[in-house]
């Protein structure tokens, strides 16, 4: 199986020994209690579940600046985005002490991790804006990722962590949420060698389904892991439980047995376009995938990124050899009326726009809200029914 990123084995920071974990939960009661942001809590979940191998905890200011400028930590570990505990104020926190990180996403704000404080630094406004511009390609506060990042504060509290739970993800999505270790075990149990990973934060329509199948065929893969983001999205996006039901229904009806598995990960969407695409590749390698689909406007939002910037970054900025996972570059996919099948647009240069079944996201939402199913060439009827039920319940 493919090696994890930068290591021979996964570096999962979750305390799996039950007695040790209970002892640490009790110990946390005596520590300074720090309510962290949703982004920091999600980072803790990803560190705990092995997706951020080989990191041992939260990055320092020097690491953040280095990652922003060079996509590597001060120690030279390749990483495309900061993994940080950033706070608005740090009163009562001192270097060398342990602090209990409280989860803002669960009732009662329970402790999610214990951090040993290595360093406390403050980013200047110039440094903060530079980091944001490098990671997101803009400093526009209307960008949802930029807005979320800037809301966390300027203080950077670095240090190793011990993760005590997986927040609401393992509670709300017990069948879907899986750690990188668990997915590797599932891949091994399935007997798969070549594995395609597909990232989604949306329900999958017919074009997404066929794209997974195209990629599997192109690389002669044994199976596909449909890996769903379960964390916070921007306003208006379809909630994870609805996406989960829609994707499960699609796989049950339209994929061959033992050719696809559905899983989810506990992370908030960054909407960082190219940089987030590279991050996605890092944790897909960590979960055991050999190939990763990068499509049009991957991890993008609005018109902040070019259609294929997320593919170009791998060729232009990611040093050769730092990642073992291979990228499958995909074009926009749509149903061809001429050929009566879903195709990649780049493969049919003789087609005009009217030869495809194309619907905007706005149009699809309007149809679903009115109880009108999109055409079957666009969305499978079983999936459309789930989405119609959701939109009509709003």
The answer to whether residues 291 and 214 touch, using CB atoms and an 8 Å cutoff, is no
Main-chain dihedrals φ then ψ at residue 223, nearest 5 degrees: -170, 170
Return the CATH fold of 18-170. Sulfate adenylyltransferase (3.10.400)
pLDDT of the residue at 83: 98
Task: Quote the pLDDT of residue 107.
Answer: 96
Distance between CA 88 and CA 155 in Å, rounded? 6
98: how many CB neighbours lie within 10 A of its CB?
17
Residue 201 a catalytic site member: yes
By C-alpha distance, which of 243, 307, 309 is closest to 276?
309
Active-site choice (11, 106, 118, 201): 201
> What whole-number distance in Å separates Cα of residue 282 and Cα of residue 73?
14
Q: Is 154 a catalytic residue?
A: no
Among 25, 39, 175, 52, CA closest to 112: 25
Would you say 292 and 280 are in contact if contact means Cβ atoms under 8 Å apart? Answer: yes
CA distance 333 to 258: 24
Cα angle: 125, vertex 131, 134; to 5 degrees:
140
The whole-number pLDDT of residue 343 equals 95
Query: Which ranges of 140-205 would DSSP assign to H, the alpha helix?
Result: 144-150, 169-172, 180-190
Which whole-number Å values give the CA distances from 168 to 77, 123, 234, 289, in the listed order?
30, 30, 18, 25
pLDDT value of position 354: 92
CA distance linking residue 198 with residue 208, whole number of Å: 9
pLDDT of the residue at 236:
76
pTM of the model: 0.95
Which DSSP letter does residue 166 get?
Answer: -
Q: What's residue 81's pLDDT? A: 98
Q: Which of 161, 186, 164 is nearest to 175 (CA)?
A: 186
pLDDT at 370: 92
Break the chain into its structural domains and give their ranges: 18-170, 175-393
Contact in structure between 260 and 192 (CB atoms under 8 Å): no
Whether the Cβ atoms of residue 49 and residue 180 lie closer than 8 Å to each other: yes
The confidence score (pLDDT) of residue 85 equals 98
Please give the Cα distance from 391 to 394 (Å, whole number). Answer: 5
Please list the pLDDT of the chain residue by residue as tens digits (394 residues): 999 999 999 999 999 999 999 999 999 999 999 999 999 999 999 999 999 999 999 999 999 999 999 999 999 999 999 999 999 999 989 999 999 999 999 999 999 999 999 999 999 999 999 999 999 999 999 999 999 999 999 999 999 999 999 999 999 999 899 999 999 999 999 999 999 999 998 889 999 999 999 999 999 999 999 999 998 877 778 888 899 899 999 999 999 999 999 999 999 999 999 999 999 999 999 999 999 999 999 999 999 999 999 999 999 999 999 999 999 999 989 999 999 999 999 999 999 999 999 888 788 888 999 999 999 999 999 999 999 999 999 8
Tell me which of 133, 202, 296, 365 is the catalytic residue: 202
- 291-321 pLDDT per residue, tens: 999 999 999 999 999 999 999 999 999 999 9
pLDDT of residue 234: 75
Pair 50, 179: CB distance under 8 Å: yes
CATH, domain range 175-393: 3.40.50.620
pLDDT for the residue numbered 209:
95
**CA-closest candidate to residue 173, choices 49, 322, 286:** 49
């Amino acid at each position: 199986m493919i090696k994890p990123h930068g290591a021979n084995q996964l570096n999962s920071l979750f305390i799996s020994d039950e007695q040790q974990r209970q002892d640490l939960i009790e110990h946390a009661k005596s520590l300074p209690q720090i309510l962290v942001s949703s982004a920091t809590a999600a980072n803790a979940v990803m560190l705990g579940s092995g997706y951020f191998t080989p990191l041992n905890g939260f990055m320092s200011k020097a690491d953040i600046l280095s990652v922003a400028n060079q996509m590597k930590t001060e120690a030279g570990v390749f990483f495309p985005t900061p993994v940080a505990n950033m706070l608005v104020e740090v009163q009562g926190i001192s270097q060398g002490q342990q602090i209990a990180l409280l989860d803002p996403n669960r009732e009662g704000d329970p402790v999610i991790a214990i951090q040993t404080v290595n360093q406390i630094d403050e980013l200047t406004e110039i440094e903060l804006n530079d980091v944001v511009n490098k990671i997101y390609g803009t400093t526009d506060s209307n960008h949802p990722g930029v807005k979320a990042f800037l809301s966390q504060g300027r203080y950077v509290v670095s240090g190793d962590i011990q993760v005590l739970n997986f927040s609401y993800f393992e509670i709300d999505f017990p069948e879907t949420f899986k750690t990188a270790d668990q997915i590797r075990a599932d891949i091994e149990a399935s007997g798969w060698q070549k594995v395609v990973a597909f990232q989604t934060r949306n329900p999958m329509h017919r074009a997404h389904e066929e794209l997974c199948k195209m990629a599997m065929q192109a690389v002669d893969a044994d199976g596909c892991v449909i890996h769903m983001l379960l964390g916070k999205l921007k306003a208006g996006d379809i909630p994870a439980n609805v996406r989960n039901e829609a994707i499960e229904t699609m796989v049950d009806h339209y994929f061959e047995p033992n050719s696809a598995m559905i899983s989810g990960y506990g992370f908030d969407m960054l909407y960082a376009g190219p940089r987030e695409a590279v991050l996605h590749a890092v944790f897909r390698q960590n979960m055991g995938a050999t190939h990763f689909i990068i499509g049009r406007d991957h991890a993008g939002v609005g018109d902040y990124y070019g259609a294929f910037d997320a593919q170009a970054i791998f060729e232009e900025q990611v040093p050769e050899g730092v990642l073992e996972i291979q990228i499958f570059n995909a074009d926009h996919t749509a149903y061809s009326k001429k050929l009566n099948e879903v195709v990649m647009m780049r493969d049919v240069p003789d087609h005009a726009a009217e030869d495809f079944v194309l619907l905007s996201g706005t149009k699809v939402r309007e149809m679903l809200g009115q109880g009108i199913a999109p055409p079957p060439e666009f969305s499978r009827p079983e999936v459309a029914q789930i989405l119609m039920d959701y939109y009509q319940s709003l």
